[in-house]
Structures are given as C-alpha cells and as structure tokens.
Structure 1
Amino acid sequence: MTLAVHLEPSHLELARDPLHVELPAQVRERVARCHEFVLDVSTSGRSIYGVTTGFGPMVEFEGRADGAGQSDNTILHHIVGHGELLPPAVARAAVLARLFSLGQGRSGVSEQVMDSLTAMLDTAFAPAVPRLGSVGASGDLQPLAYVAHALRGNGNAFYRNQLMPAGEALTRAGLAKLVLDGRDALALVNGVSVTAAVLGLAVAQAVRARRTAELLSALMTDVLGCGTEFTSVGLLAAFGHPDVAETGASIRSWLAGSTPSGNRPLQEPYSIRCTPQLIGAAGTSVRHAGDVVRRDLNGVSDNPLFFPETGEVVHGGNFFGQPAAFAADQLNVALVQLGNLAERQLDLLVDPHRTNGLPPMLSPEPGRHHAIQGVQLSTTATVAAMRRAATPASVQSLPTNLHNQDVVPFGTQAALTALDQSKLLRYLHAGLAVGLRQAVHVGARPPQAPGLAAVFETLAEVVPPIVEDRPLDTTLAAVADVLDDLVSEVEGER
C-alpha cells in the first residue's frame, strides 16, 4: 500500500496482518517541510498550543522548555485508560489511520515518527489500548497515547496476538523504541484516528451485512416458495429510494430461475415482503457512514495545523469527532434493524403455522430432538443486547477538562458500539443461515435459483443436517465466515 492512495474503510482490514506501507517522495517532502516550519516557529516567540504552552486548560501556562520533556508530558498524563483492550487488529487499524492523517503534512511531525509507524505496521506488533478513556473531542487522546506509549517500549503490547510487556514485543518484532521530540507526541495523539479506524471497520463489515441480508432474504423466499412480486422494478422505482431499488435488484438477481410454489399467501409477512425497503434503508445509512469515515480517514485531524506555504499556524477544532459520532450512531440503529429482521425471519422459519407445515423448530423428531430451538433462544438474547446498546452516544455530551472541553461528541464510543453491533449481526445471520439449511433437510424445497442453489451447497458443506441435537456454537462461527466470503465475492463483482 502507498500513502498517496485514497484510504478506504476496507483498507483498514488489511492492517490486521503485517502490512507494508510505502511513503512516496512527495509525502516525505511535505512532512519534512512542515516539520522544519514547526521548528522555526517554535523559536520565533509565537505562542503555539502544545509546543510553547501546556495542554488543554493549561494553555495559559508555559510548557516545558525541551521538546522531549514536552512529549513525555503529552503521553504520560493520558495513560489512565481502562476496560478491556481493543483487539490487535483494531489498534493496528488506528495506527494506519493516524499515519494517513500525519502524512498530509499539516501536523509538523518528524519523519522518524512516520518511519516508526510504517515499520510497526510491517510487523505483527500491536499496541495494547484500553477501550475506555476518550470522549472523542480533542481527538482520541488517551487511546492514541497508549499507541505512542507502547511504541516507546512502555506498558503492554501484542506480538502475534499474544499480550506481553511492550519492550519485549518490540524486541520480538525487531522494532526500535520510538523517540519523540518537538511536536511529535501531540501530533500522534491529537486526532480522531481511533474513532475513524473503528468506524471504518464497522462500515466494512456493515457493507457485508447488507449483502448478507439480501442473500438470506432471497434464499428464504426461494426455500419457502414465496411470490416475488415484492421485488418488482416498477414497484420499487415508484417508492423513490435508490438504495431500496438496489436491494430489490439484488434479491431479484439471486432469485433468477426460481418460481413461486403457489402455496403461499397473497401477501407475505413484512419480514419477507418489506425486505427491499428495510435492507435498502439500512444500506443508505451504511453508505452515509462510509462517506463520512472516508472524509475522516483522508482529512487532517489535529490542532493546530501548520501551513508553511503561507506561514500560518491555525488553531481550531479539527480534532472534534462530531461527524463520525453522528454517522456511527445512525449506523448503529441500521445494524440493529437488520438484526431485528434476521431474528424475525428465523422466528417465521421455525413456526409450523407459517411455513406450510414444516415441523416446529425444524426438528426431524419434535420432542426427541430440538434442532434450532437453542439457536432461536440465543438469537433473541442477541437482539435484546443490540437494542440495549442502541442508545445514541453522540448526544451524551458532558463538560470536562475545566470546561475547556465543554461540549464533546463521544464519537469513539459511538464507533466502538457500531463495531460491536456489526459483529453481533454476523451471529444472527449465521443462525438464520443454519435455519435455512435445516429447513430443506426437514421438508422445505431446495432452492431453485442456480445462484442460491450454489450458496446452499456451500452452506451444506459446512453444516451437516441436524439429525440429533448437537452443539452449534462453532458451526455458527464457521457459517458467519462463509457468509462474509460469499458476499465479498459478490460485492467484488459490482
């Protein structure tokens, strides 16, 4: 990967493994030019936040005279995070996002910092970053401080997903300790790169979730022999929402070659009939979140910004993660509604009164064996957990920092919740897929559409029919991976 390219949400997923990032000459030139400018203005007598001053409300006081000491203070007073650690893949994605912001040449960071971040990404090293501590206002100060802390050999880190002291992880990865001076430390922490990375990862999974919902809705329609009038081109065009029409087209494409059984009601329940409207609307929210996070990933989040070409040092609020906070909350709600749909579709599937006589819980021997019964219970619990987490974070503003941060967006928490929801939705979709596979085993028709028949064969290879009750937890995890792979292939063709 080259730093000159446009960073996409899906690129963030590449950072879970060692990733080589090239710094083109033009990137190095603008970073070096800005760094020299910062060194010049730092000794010019101008007051520059975080360079000549203290931090936050301490801006009215002078900072430490030496850059190394100022860097120490920047990092150390933020090492107070707590809670579970971010997964290594998420922490590494945040480093990639921060690298792209710093590479814009507006932060005054030194080239050695850029080289240190790229070197880290090229290994299996990941900083250990606690989940709680950021309000997403003056950037992700605390989580990014933990990134710098670990790269300096302090605290803890992961190497090949194993947690250990950061110094040991650096040694195993063959990395030198990061040395910070001047504005390096503040440039590392004073941006929303954790929020952007987490939201980007959530968006990447949400794109797959939308396609999975379309696929499973089509498979359910075919297996039950439902009519397909609800996907009519004219009907959906009249509704006036492009993403709804796109979902209808996707479901129609999956259903190509299938014919209704003629045994279903004139109008299906909404969990079938309204799938284009529901999934399409969710797709609109996913697309909006994607647009927002692309701007964050390819913009500059820091304060102040430096413009050597005009000699300006501009103080402002480019570390304020409100756009991502709103987008993450909207995405969160969309993911919950997709979860509601999957749960209702599974409920329909296990109910003999709505499936033309398939046995209850899709059991081959009701009473003696229970087949999907446990899956449905877990699905219900999962949906309840998703709903409880759907409270928006972006409106929970609390003043802090001696009222320097008197209004805050909580974008980091909003993004983390959206990522959590995307992972829970994978489980719900897996449960529905297992139910559809079992429905065919106990009497539903095999899918007639060639594309869906191929999908069903893939699922059947992973999920043997439930003849006798057995644990299904590892099966569900495997099916979630299969569904991601199937829809990623389809998305790649679009």
Structure 2
Amino acid sequence: MAEHDLSTRTVFEARADMNTGADADTRANAAAIVIGGRRLTIEEVVAIAQHRAPVALSDDAAWRARIERGADFLRRHLAAGATVYGVNTGYGDACVVGVPAELVEALPLQLTRYHGCGMGAYLDDAQALAVIAARLNSLAYGFSGVRPVLLERLADLINHRVLPRIPAEGSVGASGDLTPLSYVAAALVGERNVMFDGALRDARDVWAELGVAPLALGPKEGLALMNGTAVMTGLACLAFARADHLTRLTTRLTALSTVALDGRAAHFDATLFEVKPHAGQAEAAAWIRSDLAGRDDTPGHRLQDRYSIRCAPHVIGVARDALTWVRRDVENELNSANDNPLIDPDNERVLHGGNFYGGHIAFAMDALKVAVANLADLMDRQLALLVDVNFNNGLPRNLSGAAPARAAINHGFKAVQISSSAWTAEALKHTMPASVFSRSTEAHNQDKVSMGTIAARDCLRVLELTEQVAAAHTLATVQAVRLRLRIDAATPVPAPLHAFIDEVSASSPFVDEDRALEGELRALTARIGACDLHGGYRTTSDQYRKGWNA
C-alpha cells in the first residue's frame, strides 16, 4: 500500500453509533478511519475534523493485545513497588515528591483539574476534532500504558461529536499541550462543558444522555491524555491542508492575472524551470502553464511582466517545496508516542524522556506561516497592478465596471485593494517565529520549551488573513478578466479559467455599480478556508476529499 493510501472500514464496523441528523447521514455513508496499528495521514485527520468520516479502533487482535499488555505491565510494575513518574510521584518539578498508595488513584484527576486554567478563544469544532484525533492516534501507538476503554472513549468524543471546549491559549509546547488537553481529559471524566448537538452542555449530562458512564482514569491515564503534542499537531494538520489549497489557488490567480493584464505566457515555459530544478517551482509553473494553454504572446506588448507575475512560480514554489517536509514532520509527530513516561509493553520497561517536546511542529509551523505570508504578499502585489491604470495595460481605473456616464462616482475595487494591503501587512507581522521565544517555566523544570502550539495558532492566523487576500484577489481578477473581454472580446481565455470565472461569478456578479462586497468576501473566504474553491483544478488534499465523498 502506498504511504498515503487510506485504510478504511465501513461505518457499520465502527464501535460507536453515529448521531442523528443530516450530518450523521453523510457520515453514515462514509468509511470509518481505522485507528491503531497503522499510520494516519494529514488528509484523514482533516476528514475527521470536517465531519466527513467517523473513526473505528482497529480489530487487529495483535494490536489490541499490545494495548492490553501495556496497561497490565504498568499495573504489575506499580504493584511490585516501582516508582513511576506521574503515577506515584508528583508532576514536573514535584517528581521528587512521593504519592502515598492511597492517593495514587486520585492523582490523575487532580492533574486534569489544576490545569483547567486555559484562556483565549475556544478552538472551533474542526480544530477540537483534529486535536482529539491526534491524541487518540498517539495513544493507540501502544507506548502509553492506557487501557482500551480510554481509546474507546476518545473515539466516542469523535463519533458522537462530544466536543470539549478547549481554550486556545496556555500551552508552551512542552511538557506537551498540558492545559488545553486537560479539557479533553475533563470531558472524558464528565467535568466542564462540551458542545453537543449544537448546544453548550455539561459533560456529565451528555454522557448520561448517551448511556455511557464517565471514565474513571487509571494510573497514568490523566498524564497520557495531557502530556503530548496533540493540540499543535491537530492544528498543524488543518494548516497544512489550507496551505496546500492556497498554493494551488495562487497559481490559478496568477494565470488569471496574466490574462487580465494581457501578459506573457512565455514566462512559464518549461525550460526555464528545468534549468533551475526546484520541484515546487516547476510544479507551480506547470499549473500556470496548463491554465494558459493555447494562449500565444502577442508581439509588441511589454517584453517582461513585472515580478509579481513573472516570478510567481518562484514564490509559490517555496511553499510547495516546504509542504513536502512539513508533511513529513507533521505526520511523523502525528504517528508518534509523545507522552512521558513511555511504557514499553514488549520489553516491560518504563522510559522517562522528552517526547512531549513539540520542536518539529514549532519549526514547521514557523516556516509554513512565512511561506504562506509570502503568498499573501504576492497576491496583494498582483492586485495592486490590476487596479492601477499606470500598470494594468488599459483596464479601467480600480477595475470599475461603471458606464461612462457614472464613472466619476464609481470606485470599483479601490477599497478592496486597500483592505487587502492591510490584511497582507498583518499576515507579515505574524511571521515572527514563535519557536525562538522559549520561556523557563515550572520552577525551571520546563526550562526549554517549544512554543509549538503558539506557532501553529500563528500559522492559522496567517492563513486566515491570506485567505482574505485571496478572496479579494479572486473577485478582483475575475472582474479584471471580464473587463478585458469588454475591451477585446477575442482575448483568449483558456477553458480552465472560464470554469473558474463561472464558479466565482455564480455567487459574486460583475461589479458595474459600486456595492458593499463584505458579504461576498466573507462567503468566498470561508470557501477558500474550507478548501472548497476549485474551478477545475484539484490539489493533493482535494484528491483525498474526492475519495472520501465518493
């Protein structure tokens, strides 16, 4: 099986029943994503997060026996009088404090409670589901010493959509995402609030409604749930998919801008990119070249288009190449045992280490947000060319579509370009790397931390802003091509670009008279963020999406 093939079972083999309603009907026709004994992909996490697939624990007997062995070994090890960090000791700097035997069972719940101090906005439904999927997959690796029932309850959170209200702020990325993940643990034990069936509910009441008893945490299970990188990793999976889609959209908009500006397709000739062999750059150029297929350069026009057009593959290509190693690092983290201590069920060892450290995710998200912000800057520069009569090769000022008699009072996309510039500036401001801002915390026990969750949140913010720029650029570029066709109806517009123009125009008609575009921009931004603007092209993520919906 190829590395990113999707191993699935039918939903009827899943352990948990689905909720009722239209969304449940959609998932009931999907295949369940198998957790346990196999590698999970970014696309599968995204499918779970977008409610397009349930999960099912593997029915492989060897995998299930391994999970059981880990929990059994830990119980026997403790019974033999061994000392295990976080099981019969205090946490962090308090690891030197022994916990009396009569308090060992109470210790995991205490951990979940005192970490209930998160702040900031709550993760949305998709983010919460991605986090739970990442934590479930890590614990299913079989090195955490948890019982199968814990994995089943995490699967229940996903399949019943019992979504912990997880505050975004409060993690330094080592010892993992302790505070935000405490909200997942609290939901399992029936504490704090969850979103269920569209309403904010008490977790204990929801479990009672589902006919399931809240989980009583076993030894180490509070620590296993919280001491890991699931928040940053889940968010990173979503960021990857959105960045992947944005790179493809940016190539489409570059092709459209070339047509609108009456530019030169020759800038994307394959030979140019064969002699500078960056794979992502060549890929971006090939996409633009495909979109412009059949367009010939007319003699007499400007010999070279400006950099934001001519060098677009070189900008987009950096992001495309970055995505290759970002995928590697995110999926390695996703498919890792990243709590502490680890329980080796095969050799019956307790391994005290630092796998909770989120350095790879932190660096990947810091790098990805820079690459994405450069896409915003590129699109903003292209948009600036389109609205400026000094550079747009004969298009109306500010892309106004007004009739001559009303041209003096119409301003077209002037304010849209100003707003795009503001969003771009803010995206660029957020590119300061989070990973270099390590803080010494917790009595200098956690004296070097990753800041991985802050990096992932920054990356999502940069993506949000860049998607706004992309929405503005999309509306403006479609307007510009339609204006170009008014000037010269014979302007060649290749079929893929026609399909894209039609898709956009269906929800945002031609701007002849000035109107407020906020609603159209918001709707288009939401579609871009959901990777749902295609116009005839398919990204890597889109191919997986198509497979899930088939």
Letter of the 2:144 counterpart = S
Task: Name the residue aligned to 2:518.
Answer: 473
Identity over aligned residues, as a percent? 35
* Distance 1:276-1:44 versus aligned 2 partners, 3 A rule: same
Which digits, 9 at most, give the CA deviation of each residue in 1:326-350, with x for residues without a partner? Answer: 1110001111101101111111110
Is the contact between residue 265 and residue 295 of structure 2 (CA under 8 Å) also seen in structure 1?
no
Q: How far off its partner does 1:152 sit? A: 2.1
**Which residue, 211, 214, 230 being the options, matches 2:248?**
211
- Secondary structure, counterpart of 2:532 in structure 1: helix
- Secondary structure, counterpart of 2:408 in structure 1: coil
Task: Name the residue aligned to 1:293.
Answer: 330
* Distance 1:270-1:116 versus aligned 2 partners, 3 A rule: same
Which digits, 9 at most, give the CA deviation of each residue in 1:246-295, with x for residues without a partner? Answer: 11111111111222344531111110000111100111222221111000
Letter of the 1:31 counterpart = I
Is the contact between residue 177 and residue 230 of structure 2 (CA under 8 Å) also seen in structure 1?
yes
- Secondary structure, counterpart of 2:338 in structure 1: coil
Gaps of at least 5 residues in structure 1 are none
**Which residue, 433, 436, 439 being the options, matches 1:395?**
436
**Greater mean alpha carbon deviation, residues 384-393 or residues 58-67:** 58-67
**Which residue, 395, 403, 422 being the options, matches 2:463?**
422
Report the TM-score, using the length of structure 1 for normalisation: 0.95
Task: Name the residue aligned to 2:452.
Answer: 411
**Which residue, 448, 451, 456 being the options, matches 2:501?**
456
Task: Name the residue aligned to 1:52.
Answer: 88
Task: Name the residue aligned to 1:278.
Answer: 315
* Distance 1:64-1:208 versus aligned 2 partners, 3 A rule: farther
Q: How far off its partner does 1:447 sit? A: 5.3
- Name the CA distance, whole Å, in 1 between partners of 2:517 and 2:328: 37
Task: Name the residue aligned to 1:8.
Answer: 41
Is the contact between residue 67 and residue 183 of structure 1 (CA under 8 Å) also seen in structure 2?
no
Which digits, 9 at most, give the CA deviation of each residue in 1:396-440, with x for residues without a partner? Answer: 011011110111110010011111211221111111110012113
Is the contact between residue 256 and residue 481 of structure 2 (CA under 8 Å) also seen in structure 1?
no
Is the contact between residue 447 and residue 456 of structure 1 (CA under 8 Å) also seen in structure 2?
no
* Distance 1:223-1:176 versus aligned 2 partners, 3 A rule: farther
- Counterparts in 2 of 1:173-252, with a 5 A limit? 175-252=212-289
Letter of the 1:32 counterpart = E
Is the contact between residue 321 and residue 410 of structure 1 (CA under 8 Å) also seen in structure 2?
yes
Q: How many residues align?
A: 494
- Name the CA distance, whole Å, in 1 between partners of 2:213 and 2:316: 48
- Residues 1:356 and 2:393 are matched in the alignment: yes
Q: How far off its partner does 1:490 sit? A: 4.6
**Which residue, 367, 370, 377 being the options, matches 2:408?**
367
- Residues 1:485 and 2:532 are matched in the alignment: yes
* Distance 1:482-1:388 versus aligned 2 partners, 3 A rule: closer
Letter of the 1:378 counterpart = S
* Distance 1:397-1:39 versus aligned 2 partners, 3 A rule: same
Is the contact between residue 120 and residue 175 of structure 1 (CA under 8 Å) also seen in structure 2?
no
- Name the CA distance, whole Å, in 1 between partners of 2:450 and 2:74: 29
Is the contact between residue 32 and residue 110 of structure 1 (CA under 8 Å) also seen in structure 2?
yes
- Counterparts in 2 of 1:89-104, with a 5 A limit? 89-104=126-141
Letter of the 2:538 counterpart = E
Report the TM-score, using the length of structure 2 for normalisation: 0.86
Q: What RMSD over aligned residues (CA atoms) do the two structures have, in Å?
A: 1.9
Is the contact between residue 224 and residue 339 of structure 2 (CA under 8 Å) also seen in structure 1?
yes
* Distance 1:119-1:493 versus aligned 2 partners, 3 A rule: closer
- Secondary structure, counterpart of 2:506 in structure 1: helix
Letter of the 2:511 counterpart = I
- Secondary structure, counterpart of 1:442 in structure 2: helix
Gaps of at least 5 residues in structure 2 are 1-32, 545-550
